[in-house]
């Protein structure tokens, strides 16, 4: 018999329920109000009182309303048909809902129950299987969607029978497995999993080392992220966090892209809904939306629902990782999620931490980021979740608690700078403050030396040193004036500007420059660093400025030309002729 209760108190979307039986942490319940039942999650239990956060507006809810507990935690439905879906934070299919403003208490099933899938068995009768083992596969938008043994089972099972190759619906039985006691379990294509619990059906989770190519030079060249890596993008409003995430999601070398719009402004979410179905995937030539899942908060969901969005998106990502796929997960913006945690913590009258955020904010963020990663599955295949979140610190203050807590766990730090954004130097990632800790790993150094060049990391460090030196000289020039600084200083400053304009800046609206393959990045880095290593002779700082502006102009034109095309080679020739003018 399920536990029931009565509403005892209401504080916005925090509801206190007096229960008549046992309930558990994170259990789901439904509160009756009028003709609707509102979904809520237990977040605290004190005696006979359960404190629940409601995922809908509590307008009209009254004390004494009936509450029924579901007996399970907040969970997602997993199965073929999730790709190309527009889901809300509770995994409702938004396209099945009616009206511009969604009705309260309306919940929809995320999958198509009537679609026939072409099933192909991978296991056979007599095989020993366990949680996460692949039983068969279906084609989902040109991706091999594995039908797996449910993650919830424990121990080993034996396959008694498996369906023949053919067409089946998601709830048709495709396999029967038997445990050691002879108990049979019928399996279809659908399974459920609680979002707050990580899916750990893999053999090991080693340190990631393979480069995740994004086509964005300031990331791939200066601060690379790896398959299964973690990174975050902090920055003030208007500096390009969402745009940079969109660029990575469009161009990254991944099988699946999941966008968790867990709190950014509505116009940017609408841009995803409108733009992604029309974009062409640069890797496959198909529509980008075919390998994309969007998890977005709806406008009438309260702040607390932002927490559900990120966990729902991560659980779906873990599901596809268990199929041996490369998943890129974007969350925009995790600051809104942290604000939701702060809001509920304050209503529960918990002891506040810095800026009134929960005391355990760092632990919550660390546990969530830890769910990403590169894994070896039990069958020898590999899969990965690369997680990149954005942070929107108030006033651009990178010392606030959310940024500081995220900085402790994320291995890549892409700091967006207001000054670079104001001067239209996009992507506005500060090349000096930003970093990638993966460069320090011996595994990554060995991998990148084989993939690109043995001295690649040394060249990147040389480039960053020159950028740092250029910044210091710029400050001296601003204080002392152009005439009071030696010409050699001007030369060093303009070398750093050459790197900035040609390597770090990128035109997202140009068809060629928007995506820069790693081979081209390596070529341009070698070319520009050769220019920077050379010695030059000038009479005054004006000559230095004019000369390097001409070099920068040629370098930018090269970025707009097809790699190794006739135009590209023509610009190289022009650059060599120009370099001969002042080189010593």
pLDDT in tens, 382-421: 999 999 999 988 878 889 999 999 999 999 999 999 999 9
Residues 145 and 56 in one domain: no
Of the listed ranges 66-80, 123-137, 256-270, 450-464, the least confidently predicted one is 256-270
Return all residues near 450 (Cβ < 8 A) that are at least 6 apart. Answer: none
pLDDT tens figures, 334-388: 888 898 899 889 989 899 999 999 999 999 999 999 999 999 999 999 999 999 9
Same domain, 482 and 364: no
Average pLDDT over residues 214-225: 96
The CATH number of whichever domain residue 53 belongs to comes to 2.40.10.170
Domain of 405, CATH number, reads 3.40.50.300
| 235 annotated among ligand-binding-site residues | yes
Q: Is the pLDDT of residue 270 over 90?
A: no
Q: Which pLDDT value is given to residue 265? A: 52
Choosing from 437, 469, 484, the residue where a domain stops is: 437
Inside any domain, residue 555: yes
Q: Note whether residue 203 is domain-resident.
A: no
pLDDT at position 100, please? 67
Contact status, residue 240 vs residue 423, Cβ threshold 8 Å: no
Higher pLDDT, 411 or 103: 411
Residue 372 within any structural domain of the chain: yes
352 φ/ψ angles, rounded to the nearest 5 degrees: -80, 150
Crossing angle of helices 334-347 and 401-409, rounded to 10°: 120
Q: What is the pLDDT of residue 57?
A: 85
CA separation for the pair 40, 38 (Å, rounded)? 6
Residue 164: pLDDT over 80: yes
DSSP code at position 322? T
Whether 231 has a binding-site annotation, put simply, is no
The 8-class DSSP code of residue 290 comes to: G
Residue 177 Cα distances to 79, 187, 323, 406, angstroms: 19, 8, 20, 43
Q: How many percent of the chain have pLDDT more than 90? A: 78
pLDDT interval class at 266 (50, 70, 90): low
Is residue 333 reached through a cis peptide bond, with omega within 30 degrees of 0 on the bond before it? yes
Pair 463, 402 in one domain: no
The per-residue pLDDT of the chain, averaged, comes to 92
Check whether 547 has a pLDDT greater than 90. yes
Mean pLDDT of 119-148: 96
Stretch 249-273: mean pLDDT: 79
200 annotated to a ligand binding site:
no
Q: Considering only residues 268 and 533, tell me which one the structure prediction assigns the higher pLDDT.
A: 533
Q: What 8-state DSSP symbol labels residue 24?
A: -
329 and 468 together in one domain: no
In a domain, 55, yes or no: yes
Give the Cα separation of 42 and 28 in Å (integer). Answer: 6
Residue 307: pLDDT over 80: yes
Q: Is 241 annotated as a binding residue?
A: yes
Contact 469, 496 (CB under 8 A): yes
Domain assignment present for residue 224? The answer is: yes
Non-local (6+) Cβ contacts of 43 within 8 A are 25, 26, 51, 52, 53, 344, 348
Q: Which of 562, 561, 499, 488 is nearest to 527 (CA)?
A: 499
- Whether residue 517 is annotated as binding a ligand: the answer is no
* Residue 239 labelled as part of a binding site: yes
Statement to judge: residues 432 and 519 lie in one domain: no
Residue-range definition of the domain harbouring residue 171: 117-192
Same domain, 315 and 175: no
Find the mean pLDDT for residues 44-69.
94
- What is the rounded CA–CA span in Å between residue 189 and residue 116? 11
Reported as type and span, the H/E element at residue 449 is helix 442-451
Q: How far apart are CA 548 and CA 578, in angstroms?
A: 10
Residues β-bridged to residue 483: none
Does residue 176 register a pLDDT over 60?
Answer: yes
- Choosing from 437, 469, 500, the residue where a domain stops is 437
Share of the chain above pLDDT 70, in %: 97
- Spatial separation of the C-alpha atoms in residues 329 and 352, rounded to whole Å: 30
Contact present, 220 and 251 (Cβ < 8 Å): no
Kindly calculate the radius of gyration of the chain based on its CA atoms and give it in whole angstroms.
Answer: 27
228 has binding-site annotation: no
Tell me the average pLDDT across 7-26. 94
Q: What is the pTM of this model?
A: 0.95
Q: Return the bridge partners of 387, or none.
A: 230, 329
Could you tell me the CATH number of the domain that includes residue 465? 1.10.1140.10
**Residue 370 token pair:** 């830890």
Residues 221 and 163 in one domain: no
Quick one: 405 and 269 in the same domain? yes
Residue 298: pLDDT over 70: no
Q: Are 384 and 240 contained in the same domain?
A: yes
What is residue 274's predicted lDDT score, i.e. its pLDDT?
76
Instruction: Compute CA 254 distance to the chain's CA centroid, rounded to the nearest angstrom.
Output: 11
Are 298 and 386 members of one domain?
Answer: yes
**Cα-based distances in Å from 466 to 472, 499, 532:** 10, 9, 9
Q: How far apart are CA 140 and CA 143, in angstroms?
A: 5
Q: Are 583 and 536 in contact (CB under 8 A)?
A: yes
Residue 515 pLDDT > 60, yes or no? yes
Mark whether 340 and 414 lie in a shared domain.
yes
If you search the block for the tokens 């190289």, which residue do you land on? Answer: 572
Last residue of a domain, one of 17, 52, 73: 73
> Does some domain include residue 211?
no
Res 437: pLDDT? 96
| 284 inside domain | yes
Nearest Cα neighbor of 293 from 105, 89, 118 is 89
Q: For residues 160-169, give the mean pLDDT.
A: 97
Q: Decide: 16 and 9 in contact? Cβ < 8 Å.
A: yes
- Identify which has the larger pLDDT, 281 or 490: 490
- Better pLDDT: 403 or 2: 403
Tell which wins on pLDDT, 303 or 565.
565
136 is in an annotated binding site: no
Same domain, 258 and 361: yes
Look at residue 56 in the predicted model and tell me its pLDDT: 86
By C-alpha distance, which of 530, 531, 517, 529 is closest to 564? 517
Number of domains in the chain: 4
Collapsed DSSP state (helix, strand, coil) of residue 88: strand
Separation in Å, CA 61 to CA 10, 29, 279, 415, 420: 8, 15, 43, 44, 49
What confidence category does residue 584 fall into, taking pLDDT thresholds of 50, 70 and 90? Answer: confident
Q: What is the CATH number of the domain that holds 131?
A: 2.40.50.100
pLDDT band at 310 (very low <50, low <70, confident <90, very high): very high
In a domain, 290, yes or no: yes
DSSP strands (E only) in 434-583 = 435-436
Residue 249 above 60 pLDDT? yes
Q: What is the pLDDT of residue 300?
A: 64
Backbone angles phi, psi at 433, to 5 degrees: -70, -30
């Amino acid at each position: 018999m399920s536990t029931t209760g009565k509403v005892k108190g209401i504080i916005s979307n925090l509801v206190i329920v007096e229960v008549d039986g046992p309930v558990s942490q994170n259990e789901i319940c439904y509160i009756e109000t009028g003709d609707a039942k509102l979904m809520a999650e237990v977040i605290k239990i004190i005696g006979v009182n359960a404190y629940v956060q409601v995922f809908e507006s509590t307008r009209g809810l009254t004390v004494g309303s009936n509450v029924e507990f579901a007996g399970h935690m907040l969970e997602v439905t997993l199965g073929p048909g999730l790709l190309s879906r527009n889901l809300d934070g509770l995994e409702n299919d938004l396209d099945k809902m009616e009206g511009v403003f969604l009705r309260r208490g309306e919940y929809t099933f995320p999958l198509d129950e009537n679609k026939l899938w072409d099933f192909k068995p991978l296991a056979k009768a007599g095989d020993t299987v366990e949680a996460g083992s692949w039983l068969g596969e279906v084609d989902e938008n040109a991706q091999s969607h594995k039908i797996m043994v449910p993650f919830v089972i424990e121990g080993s099972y034996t396959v008694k029978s498996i369906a023949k190759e053919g067409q089946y619906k998601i709830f048709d039985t495709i396999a029967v497995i038997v445990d050691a006691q002879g108990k049979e379990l019928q399996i279809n294509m659908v399974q459920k999993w609680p979002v707050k619990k990580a899916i750990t059906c893999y053999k090991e989770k080693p340190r990631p080392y393979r480069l995740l190519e994004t086509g964005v030079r300031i990331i791939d060249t200066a601060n690379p992220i790896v398959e299964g890596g973690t990174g975050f993008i902090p920055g003030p409003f208007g500096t390009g966090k969402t745009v940079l995430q969109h660029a990575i999601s469009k161009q990254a070398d991944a099988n699946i892209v999941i966008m968790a719009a867990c709190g950014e402004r509505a116009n940017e979410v609408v841009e995803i809904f409108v733009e992604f179905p029309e974009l062409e995937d640069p890797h496959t030539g198909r529509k980008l939306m075919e390998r994309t899942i969007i998890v977005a908060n709806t406008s009438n969901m309260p702040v607390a629902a932002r927490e559900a969005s990120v966990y729902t998106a991560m659980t779906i990502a873990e599901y596809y990782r268990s199929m041996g796929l490369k998943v890129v997960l974007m969350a925009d913006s995790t600051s809104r999620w942290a604000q939701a945690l702060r809001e509920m913590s304050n209503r529960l009258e918990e002891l506040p931490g810095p800026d009134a955020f929960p005391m355990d904010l760092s632990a919550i963020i660390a546990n969530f980021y830890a769910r990403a990663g590169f894994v070896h599955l039990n069958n020898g295949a590999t899969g990965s979740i690369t997680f990149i979140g954005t942070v929107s610190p108030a006033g651009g203050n990178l010392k606030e608690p959310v940024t500081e807590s995220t900085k402790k766990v994320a291995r890549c730090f892409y700091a967006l700078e207001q000054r670079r954004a104001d001067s239209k130097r996009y992507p506005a990632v500060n090349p000096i403050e930003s970093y990638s800790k993966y460069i320090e790993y011996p595994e990554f150094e060995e991998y990148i030396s084989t993939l690109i060049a043995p001295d690649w990391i040394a060249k990147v460090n040389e480039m960053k040193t020159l950028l740092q030196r250029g910044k210091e000289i710029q400050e001296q020039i601003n204080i002392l004036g152009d005439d009071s600084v030696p010409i050699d200083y001007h030369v060093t400053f303009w070398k750093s500007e050459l790197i900035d304009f040609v390597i770090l800046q990128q035109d997202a609206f140009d068809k060629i420059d928007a995506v820069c393959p790693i081979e081209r990045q390596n070529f341009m880095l070698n070319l520009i660093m050769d220019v920077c290593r050379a010695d030059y002779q000038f009479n005054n700082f004006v000559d230095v400025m004019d000369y390097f502006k001409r070099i920068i102009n040629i370098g930018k034109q090269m970025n707009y030309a097809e790699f190794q095309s006739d135009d590209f080679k023509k610009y190289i020739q022009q650059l060599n002729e120009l370099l001969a003018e002042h080189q010593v």
